[in-house]
Amino acid sequence: ILGLGDIGSQAGAPVMTGKAILISGLADLPSIGLILEETNPAKIVRILKQILPQSGGSVNLEDFSSPHSFEVERLLQAETDIPVFDDDQWGTGIVVAAALMNGVKLLGMDLGAVKIHFQGAGAGAIGVALILAAAGVNSGHIQMADSQGLIYDGRKFGMNEEKAHLATIINSECRQGSW
């Protein structure tokens, strides 16, 4: 659960139930909140493939830890024919990008000149950083710190595949040190 850590799948039930209610009510799309007692990405994908419709529908992933969220999303996208969307990465990224674009416009600034720092390097932060770069933020002006300090290209400790990929895109000055 974002901000609370791994406190169990049942703690996420109200979040998923609430989102299903909003989607059903506001978008008039039948929705259910499905809570899984599983943390292994391959097993999660296997379970979901067994219950997903053959066509139609979509999957809105929520509150998976990084880097598992990326793995589950990629596997489901590759192995199913329905849209798969990780809300922590892309939903948050879209909202942050819209807010930043409007804020920069109101202040008469250039989006490409903005410098951005992320405190934390989970799935949400990585997804937001990628969307901001795609929206026009100079990716070299983005820096991100995790519990080990700033992420930079070539850092060896505390990295995973997602952070290593992101490190090749952001922090063009290869700043190092603590957050």
DSSP states of the chain? -TTT-S--GGGGHHHHHHHHHHHHHHH---------S---HHHHHHHHHHHS-SSS--EEE-SPPTTHHHHHHHHHHHH-SS-EEEIIIIIHHHHHHHHHHHHHHHHT--GGG--EEEE--SHHHHHHHHHHHHHT--GGGEEEEETTEE--TT--TT--HHHHHHHTTS-TT---S--
| Catalytic residue check, 115 | no
Options 19, 43, 115, 156, the catalytic residue: 19
Give the three-state DSSP class for 26: helix
To 10 degrees, the CA torsion angle through 36, 39, 40, 41?
A: 70
Amino acid at 121: A
Q: Which residues are tagged catalytic?
A: 19
